[in-house]
Amino acid sequence: MCGIVGFVGRKEAAPILLEGLRRLEYRGYDSAGVAVYGSDGLQVVKTKGRIQALAEQVETRGGLNGSIGLGHTRWATHGAPSDINSHPHVSENGRIAVVHNGIIENYAEIREFLESTGVHFVSETDTEVVAQLLEYYYQGNILDAVTKALHRIRGAYALGILCADCPDRLIAARKDSPLILGFGEGFHVLASDVTAVIEHTRDVCYLDDGEIAELTADHCWVYDAYLRPVEKEHRHVDWEISAAEKGGYEHFMLKEIMEQPKAVRDTITPRIRDGKVVLDELEFSPEYLKNLDKIYIIACGSSYHVGMAAKYVLERLLRKPVEVALASEFRYCDPIVTEKTLALVISQSGETIDTLAALREAKRLGARVLSIVNVVGSSIARESDGVLYTWAGPEIAVATTKAYSTQLAVVDLIGLAFARAMGTIGEEEYAKLLAALEDLPRQLEEVLSHREQIQYLASIYFNHPSVFFIGRNLDYAVGLEGSLKLKEISYLHSEAYAAGELKHGTISLIESGTLVVALAGCRPVFEKTMSNVVEVKSRGADVLGLTIAPLEEAVGKVVDHTLTVPETHPLLLPSLEVVPMQLFAYYVALMHGCDIDKPRNLAKSVTVE
């Protein structure tokens, strides 16, 4: 989704902005632009297409002079991707440049009003309204104009503003869309994502909703919506810049798949002490947990799929009802939530707007919120009553892999810790499950060591135009994720079904040559699943089976090819099974020549509803 970077200091701004934009490319975008103020005044270059095209245009102009500027990558919402709709947008008098992430909901009404005063708009975007409104309110004090404009607009925004009348400062403002400020010797930066500025500083702070910041080379002031000063806490970003680089892999996605043993190890090890799971971060008493009426899991996309697996795990361990809701549906379904409901919110980015809005709704209805988040200091983390971070490190590929795996590991930790506190697990079962969890990183390494076999099978099956993933119970939850991985990066049609559900309609689509990926690692339902596999096989499907090593022979008798993972505790099966599914999707997409790290139409962090 859109990205923002801003710089004010004593060096040339343009190269810093372009490099920052390159680091934001992974978020997904369709156009890009920069505005720099210098001896040539306010210079704006923007274009549809890649950062490289923008950099070439800047070069053709002989560069942009000036040590203050803003950059933006746009993911089109209002108005098609085009040069004119790209940001920065500049007010009619050419003196105020704006970059914006989010959506201005009442833009049409404001545009109509401004047009009635004689303002001419050049783009179709909601963002241009902000630039024009700022000019309308500007009477010599840009901060005043910003507060007036912000009181008038509705919607979500992270804004970067540069006014030619005060060219020593950038203004930033945020509501529901992330924005960070970075501090350095003789410079300040702003960005929608730390990856854009980590090269320059690790000393950052996160703007909160309603806050406005004013940045010069040497000073940074933060205010609330009424311009009252606000003290901000600085945070240190401690991951290495190499974590956001490919490190010899062809794609970030492959690198991140291969990092899963480490990511899972980093996530679980600090939370296991003396044979027990210790979640120091949480303050939920055993009484509170025992009295829960329900756990409501809220998430989107792959995080939702983790929620689907979590339902099986948590219901089994805690003996409490667990409901899983798509965040975009939760808000509008009149959910039954009480003070005894725990909302478990799952999000890699911590900024997905649907999930954030659902979190707020759950809180409003009285639930306490526990979140599982990867990005430290993100909105979801900050607004939760308790947060368990997944220590996956930065995830750059749009298709999530290591964040998914670490989210699952945190679910298992929660299951163990809560079950013990609630008295719903015996000592022996607890010890077995914990030992299996600690062994996961090693088993993940083993699964990854077979990636050439998966590459070979991808080369056999990559040309099937339509793929069904079937499985029961936890196998079904993994099938959902396997199917999403495949379709999002290879653009093949794919669906996931609970294996027993197929015969209620969808089986009519199975014919000679359809590829079915059958997940059959779940022992308690193994025979039932295999009956469903026989049903598709006898209708002509090509079947790729996935199971645990001890069941390989039984599966192999029915299917065309079999992939295996080592046996683990049955509740941890998804952690191992998902890896061959990720690799299969990766290699199929590779064989189709797809842009794996930046699939079409997708964005890493979805900050619009």
| C-alpha dihedral, 224 to 98 to 40 to 139, nearest 10° | -60
- As measured in angstroms, the least distance from the Cβ of 330 to ligand F6R is 13
**Contact with ligand F6R (CB under 6 A) among 31, 177, 192, 355:** 355
For residues 98 and 171, what is the distance between their CA atoms, to the nearest angstrom? 10
Strands 68-74 and 3-8: antiparallel
- As measured in angstroms, the least distance from the Cβ of 335 to ligand F6R is 18
For residues 29 and 392, what is the distance between their CA atoms, to the nearest angstrom? 24
**Contact with ligand F6R (CB under 6 A) among 67, 123, 348, 575:** 348
Burial pattern 59-75, b for ≥16 Cβ within 10 A else e, equals: eeeeebebbbbbbbbbb
- As measured in angstroms, the least distance from the Cβ of 302 to ligand F6R is 3
With CB under 6 A as the contact rule, which of the stretches 84-92, 196-204, 227-235, 296-304 interacts with ligand F6R? 296-304
- As measured in angstroms, the least distance from the Cβ of 81 to ligand F6R is 20
352 belongs to the binding site for ligand F6R (CB under 6 A): yes
300 belongs to the binding site for ligand F6R (CB under 6 A): yes
Nearer to ligand F6R, 189 or 258 (CB): 258
606 belongs to the binding site for ligand F6R (CB under 6 A): yes
| Tokens encoding 159 | 């804004």
**Contact with ligand F6R (CB under 6 A) among 73, 123, 260, 349:** 349
Chain-centroid distance, C-alpha 63: 34
Contact in structure between 345 and 443 (CB atoms under 8 Å): no
- As measured in angstroms, the least distance from the Cβ of 182 to ligand F6R is 22
Nearer to ligand F6R, 355 or 494 (CB): 355
Nearer to ligand F6R, 302 or 575 (CB): 302
Segment 164 to 203, residues that bind ligand F6R, using CB under 6 A: none
Task: Name the helix (H) or strand (E) containing 376.
Answer: none
Catalytic-role residue among 2, 163, 205, 300: 2
- As measured in angstroms, the least distance from the Cβ of 374 to ligand F6R is 8
With CB under 6 A as the contact rule, which of the stretches 119-127, 261-269, 301-309, 416-424 interacts with ligand F6R? 301-309
253 belongs to the binding site for ligand F6R (CB under 6 A): no
406 belongs to the binding site for ligand F6R (CB under 6 A): no
- As measured in angstroms, the least distance from the Cβ of 489 to ligand F6R is 8
- As measured in angstroms, the least distance from the Cβ of 189 to ligand F6R is 23
Q: Is 277 helix (H, G, I), strand (E, B) or coil?
A: strand
Nearest to 8 by CA among 214, 216, 180, 202: 216
Nearer to ligand F6R, 292 or 578 (CB): 578
582 belongs to the binding site for ligand F6R (CB under 6 A): no
What's the angle, vertex CA 246, arms to CA 243 and CA 251, rounded to 5?
A: 130
Residue nearest to ligand F6R (CB): 301
Task: Name the helix (H) or strand (E) containing 133.
Answer: helix 127-137
With CB under 6 A as the contact rule, which of the stretches 51-59, 165-173, 294-302, 318-326 interacts with ligand F6R? 294-302
Nearer to ligand F6R, 147 or 355 (CB): 355
Burial pattern 162-187, b for ≥16 Cβ within 10 A else e, equals: bbbebbebbbbbbbbbbbbbbbeeeb
2 is catalytic: yes
**Contact with ligand F6R (CB under 6 A) among 85, 86, 101, 400:** 400
378 belongs to the binding site for ligand F6R (CB under 6 A): no
605 belongs to the binding site for ligand F6R (CB under 6 A): yes
Nearer to ligand F6R, 149 or 299 (CB): 299
**Contact with ligand F6R (CB under 6 A) among 295, 399, 414, 563:** 399
Nearer to ligand F6R, 372 or 541 (CB): 372
What's the angle, vertex CA 400, arms to CA 396 and CA 406, rounded to 5?
A: 105
For residues 341 and 368, what is the distance between their CA atoms, to the nearest angstrom? 7
**Contact with ligand F6R (CB under 6 A) among 31, 302, 473, 568:** 302
Contact in structure between 566 and 549 (CB atoms under 8 Å): yes
Contact in structure between 444 and 579 (CB atoms under 8 Å): yes
For residues 581 and 470, what is the distance between their CA atoms, to the nearest angstrom? 12
One DSSP character per residue, 30-51 reads SEEEEEEEETTEEEEEEEES-H
Nearer to ligand F6R, 34 or 403 (CB): 403
| Tokens encoding 180 | 């960070």
Catalytic-role residue among 48, 402, 487, 604: 604
Expressed in angstroms, the distance from the first to the final Cα of the chain is: 12
Q: How far is CA 359 from CA 223, 362, 408, in A?
A: 26, 5, 20
320 is catalytic: no
Q: By CB under 6 A, how many residues form the interface with ligand F6R?
A: 15
Chain-centroid distance, C-alpha 211: 24
For residues 281 and 155, what is the distance between their CA atoms, to the nearest angstrom? 33
With CB under 6 A as the contact rule, which of the stretches 30-38, 75-83, 346-354, 422-430 interacts with ligand F6R? 346-354
- As measured in angstroms, the least distance from the Cβ of 377 to ligand F6R is 14
303 belongs to the binding site for ligand F6R (CB under 6 A): yes
With CB under 6 A as the contact rule, which of the stretches 175-183, 311-319, 341-349, 458-466 interacts with ligand F6R? 341-349
What's the angle, vertex CA 513, arms to CA 510 and CA 515, rounded to 5?
A: 70
Segment 442 to 501, residues that bind ligand F6R, using CB under 6 A: 484, 488
- As measured in angstroms, the least distance from the Cβ of 345 to ligand F6R is 9
Segment 110 to 169, residues that bind ligand F6R, using CB under 6 A: none
Nearer to ligand F6R, 283 or 329 (CB): 329
For residues 555 and 561, what is the distance between their CA atoms, to the nearest angstrom? 9
Task: Name the helix (H) or strand (E) containing 235.
Answer: strand 235-236
Contact in structure between 161 and 98 (CB atoms under 8 Å): yes
One DSSP character per residue, 209-234 reads TT-EEEE-SS-EEEE-TT--B-----
- As measured in angstroms, the least distance from the Cβ of 199 to ligand F6R is 23
Residues identified as active-site: 2, 604
Q: Which residues bind ligand F6R (CB under 6 A)?
A: 300-303, 347-349, 352, 355, 399-400, 484, 488, 605-606
